[in-house]
Amino acid sequence: MDFCPACGMLLQIQPATGGNRMRFFCPTCPYVCPVRNKIVKKARLVKKEVEPIFSGDDAMKLAPKTATSCPRCYNGEAYFKQMQIRSADEPMTTFYKCCNGNCQFQWRDD
């Protein structure tokens, strides 16, 4: 990504056509810069660390409970947490974790 030295606009690429070579040009002023070398840029992608919705059993001691049915073991009680994961005009997403010590199944309700 390069910017025009004259006006600061983002330069656009004009592909090679006919006898002309590929070049950068500014859409607002007459600045033109021919591409002389091969353009290669490598960037390492860093994976985002995914944090769990319910972090550990200690966090569940203070989590609120609600009366809902677990889809796996049909237990009638689950911990829940609500988060805004979409835009502000969308409703919140509710995440559940089964209270049954043997199940601990996690699901969400959109």
Annotated binding site for Zn(2+): 4, 7, 26, 29, 70, 73, 98, 103
| 109/80 Cα distance (integer angstroms) | 10
Distances from the Cα of 64 to the Cα of 19, 55, 60, 79, 105, angstroms: 70, 14, 8, 6, 16
DSSP element (H, E) containing 56: helix 56-60
Nearest to 80 by CA among 102, 56, 67, 52: 67
Binding-site annotation, residues: 4, 7, 26, 29, 70, 73, 98, 103
